[in-house]
Each structure stands twice: as C-alpha cells, then as structure tokens.
Structure 1
C-alpha cells in the first residue's frame, strides 16, 4: 500500500489512521489503497470547500489541494473513484459497518482501543463530508426557487404534455428543504460536527418559518443573479429588468411599460446574442429533424422564438448526443433545455397580452409579477447552463 499522500493542505482522519496499521491488518479488513485514496481525496476536497478562512474561489481551493499530484497519481485517483463508486460499492461499505458481525470482527482484530480510533476517524471524516453536503444543498435553494417560478408559467396541459411530466410536478423548494431536514436530523446530529468548520447557522434549522419565507428570501437572490447574468451577456439590457420593476412601483401605466420592457429584453438578448442567420445554422447543424423550429415568412425561412430560445440556452454550443433515460428520450433538445426554452416563449406570449393591459388592476399586477419572477428564474438558469457568462463563485453562494 502506498504511503505517500495524494493531496496537500488537508488530511483525512481515516487515511491518516489506516497508514498507521500494518499491511496484514489492512488486508484482513479488505481496505486497499483505492479505498484510502478515495477517502483522502473526498475529505480533502470537502475541507477545502468548507474552509471559511480561505477567501479564494472554490476552483482555486480544489486546485491547490492537488497542486503536487503528478499525472500518474491523478490517473490512479480516477481509477480509484471508478472502482469504489462502481455499482453499489458505497452502499456495500455502509452496510458493512452497520453489520454487527463485521464490526465485532473488526474490534476483535484491532483491539478495543484501535477500534475506537477507527470509528472516531470515520465519524470525523463523515462530519466533514456531511457539512459540505449540507452547504451544497442550501446553495441549491435559489436554483430550486428559480425552477419553481419558471414552471409556474406552464399550464397543466403543458406540464402533462412535457416528457416525463411527473418530474415537473415535484416542488423543488420543498424537496431541498426536506433533504436538508433529513441531513440535519438523521446525519449531522450523530456526528462530531465540532471537528469541522461548521458554524451555528450550518447546524441550525434552515426554514423554521416555513418554505414560503425561505422562497421569498431566495427570490431576491434570483433577481440579483438574473440581472448579473443579463448584464454579462448584454450589459445595456440589464436596464430592462430594473426598468420593469421601477415601472411597476412608480408608473400609473406600469404594467404596460413593464411588459414592453421585458419583451424587448427577451427579443434583444436572443437576437443580439445569436442573430437569426446564426440560429438557423445552429438548428440545421444540431436539430434538423426537430419540429417547430423554423417557419416561412413570405418565402424566407426564419427561426421560431423556440429555436432562438433553445440556441440561447445552449449558448450556441452543439447539442451533445446522450443516452436515453427515464427523464429524457435522448432525442432532440435535452429535457432541461427544452423546458427552459418553453418557459421563455411562454413568458413572452403572456407579456404580449399584458402589454395591452390598461386597467392597472391588482390581478394584472399580480400576473405581471408572476411572469417577471418566472422570467428571471428562467434567465438565471438558462444563461447559467448556456455558458453565456461563466464566473466562479464561492461554494454555498448563488452562482453569479
């Protein structure tokens, strides 16, 4: 078994412990180098990501962990992960340590004192990983709110017609909250979190006042993130989002003004990111058999709004081949890209109706706010996955 460390700066308690054992014991325990390597890399990465004292972007933190790992060792790491995460290996190890027969065997083999050290080392590493997972789950909340808001524009018939529509019926915000509660109550509560970089907010219940309050807080982050994404894709257009909100606040004709601003935002960000001739080339190269992407206007072939939206969300990049699964038939645009494009088109259609609103009623204002939230959510998600404006962020923060 190799004794050299694979990462710098951070250590896995389990890796340190196993390297103190005789090779014969490790062989009897069925702990080989790939197991230790996976634990070392996983825990080190989680420690780097959760180190609040390190102000560097998360990519730089991870790179620093492996700064001295040569190409050969890196290949060993990849092979180790492939081996240990093949089939149900992780579940196999968890089941082993839950099995009283196996744990009794390990305790007899190591002796009571060394067995306690092993258990403590495993718990310390598990606590580090659990903290990283909790922060990761909480970082997903704004994305979940953006997704829920985006889907709110889709009618029941659209949801039903969508491929694997049952996925769209899931409340993403409630799902994230439920995962967080499970992690806190069933996992973190049983681990030595004092051995990690966990803060009081990390350990406290996340949504004590209910999902609606949390969603409202996250919606503010989505608004800010959508504006940043639009600004990076086309800086003058960010005024359109802010102008729409100002019109709703201060203008008597605010609904119509806001609707017009948002329609112009959508049309210009699609047209100026990818002109129609480029969209047609992209469609012909990537989705030639997909219906509803082109039409004839006085004999001239043009892309539909759906085609423009898809090209924007793909960032003009190729539509990669993919295997079919229960959520995606593997044909045409991916499930996620297609849904977000549909939301953008639906938002534009609803805005076309609202721009003629002249009553200024509370119902019309509520409809416009719902469309605005959905549009911001779809733009944040769409521009993020489309790679229009990639920028690193801190783990636990909303992707900027």
Structure 2
C-alpha cells in the first residue's frame, strides 16, 4: 500500500517499495493517530501533497495503492485516493492502521511515530449545550409606550417560545421545555395562569402559533422535520395533534392567521420558505415555495386586518419582508433592516393595521413598525438585556402589543 521513505525517492525516479499491494496482516497494534501525525506520514510519503498522482501506482498524501484503497472502502469517497479530500484519505488511513498497524508504512510510519499515537484524528463534536432561559413579557400600550418586562415563567429550561392573542382578549404563550410544549394564559384582565402541558411528545424542536377569528388557537410543532397542528377550541378544549407536513427536512416554522379564517404555516427547508394554507373549513393545501433564497436562517409571519400576510426572513444578518395580498399574490421580498448582525426575528400585527417586527441583535431586542399605509419606521431598542435568546410578538384586540423574550 505504502511507498514509505524508500519509495518516496520514486518522485525523483528511484525504484518503488510496493508494500501493501498485497494487504499486510499482523504488522502492528495501533488503531488511531492524530491529524498532526498523519501530516508527518504524508510529508514523508508524498511531500505532503494530498492530491499527488505521479503515475507510479500510488496515490494521494498517504500513497495508497488502488487495491488497498478499494479494500478499505475508499471508493465511498472517490474512485482514486488522490481525488479524495485530506480528511477522507486520513479516515481510510485509520482503517488501514487498525487492520495492518503502523507497519503498513514501514519507514514513514516509524519516522512519524505512528505506532505510538492513539489520538482520534476527528473526534465527534460534543453535543451543543441547549440554550435555554426564563420567559419575560413586555407590553406596548395602545398609545405606544413600553412597560418594563415582567417574568412570566421562571423555568430556566425554556428553549423556544411563541404567542398569540385571541379574540376574547387573552394572550396565550407557548414554551418549549425538554421537547414538550406548555401553554400559559394571560387573561384580558392581566392575570397570568400557571403553565399547562399540552404536548408531551418529548422530541419537539420548534413551535409556532396563530389565533383564528373564531376564537380557536392553533399550535404548530416541529418534530423530526415534520409539522404537527394542535387546536384549542374557543371553549378551551385541546385536540390531538395532526401531522400537516411530512417533508422530514423542515428546520423552522412560523404561522399567521388571516381575517377570512385561513391559517398560513411557513416552513424553512434548505434555506427556502414554503407556505401551506388551512382553509376556514379546515382543509390543508399543498405547500408552495414563496422564497427560494437558499440562505434564510430564521422566519416569522403576521396576518394583518386588511387581509394581507407578511413573512419576514433573516438572511446574512438582515431582515426581509415579503407580502401576500388579500387576493393571494406574493410580492418580491423587500429589505427592511440591513443591520447585518440580526440573529432571529419575530413579528405580530396590531388592530390599527400596523405590523411590528422584532429583531434580535447581540442579545437585545429592537422593534420596527410598518404603518397601515405601508411605511416602515426606524428600529427602536425596546430591551437592552444583552442576554436574550429568542422573542415573540403578539397583538391583542385592545390595541396593545406584547413582546416576549427568553433570557
């Protein structure tokens, strides 16, 4: 398999040491080596050229023969060793090392200390620590003044939030904790209930919600790349969850209701946004791609009283807004915030026809407003906490607007 140090002189025309064309056995006990050690082997074998092919029958940085490459599964990466990446060649080298030992590279392996290095060249990355926090709610009055934030959930394990204002004046806030969804209610008189477990799936990755004109509430959940819908009737009864999208590759969702009783659910797939509609009668349409940008990182949506739907997206730290007219036609996306450092977005509509869009920048929340006539305001910082992880936005019938945060 290896040319080894003796064979390296073949680069200058010397004869080859055809070790490993016939697979070796019982030549060592090493089973792993660091990338640094493999770099030393490659420096000796091929001058460190991972793409080398001199026509001498040995290929790549570790100078595999084709028979050895194939025998250890290299064809899963490339037809020839030199056509594979450095990492792929090292991964096959690890298999050869485990099967034959460092003696498969009799000279270069010894010089590099291959037999004495037992490090994993590509150890698995540790699972990311869940980013969680407690939930706070902040109110904007009908006249436009912002209140201080109030802690509404002191569970420090909340990973995601969503919220919707119902026709009865109540606000429902959903929290995702350990893959389960809890619902907490603020009454029209401003009293908060305890959290109620509404979905104990345990594998939920994302949530969104929207309230319909009939007083019902829909909570959408993302599970293994699929979307499920669970309904709370106007009388307060929760239905079982129903799968509405079995794509299997969805990574984020948003939702918004329109005055005609339809529900729109947006899904993020490979950086593109798809929209799926539930009619007022309860029938779900097929998904329609509304944004093929390919680089969208987050999304939000709001239904406005004039029948339009606004969908916001985060691309390269900027926020874009796309509108669906009451007649059903989609506009092109318009950049509404070119900050460049925005990590997430949320939004909601108010009874006067304005849309509020919240942007998360360096742990702080900024609010930008679109008037009923279509003009966008400048962004105003409404929460300078500095450690905010996510937000929601929801309007109530009394003209107030609520922004919730995880911090």
Which structure has greater strand proportion? 2
Q: When the two structures are superposed, what TM-score results if normalisation uses the length of structure 2?
A: 0.23
Which structure has greater helix proportion? 1
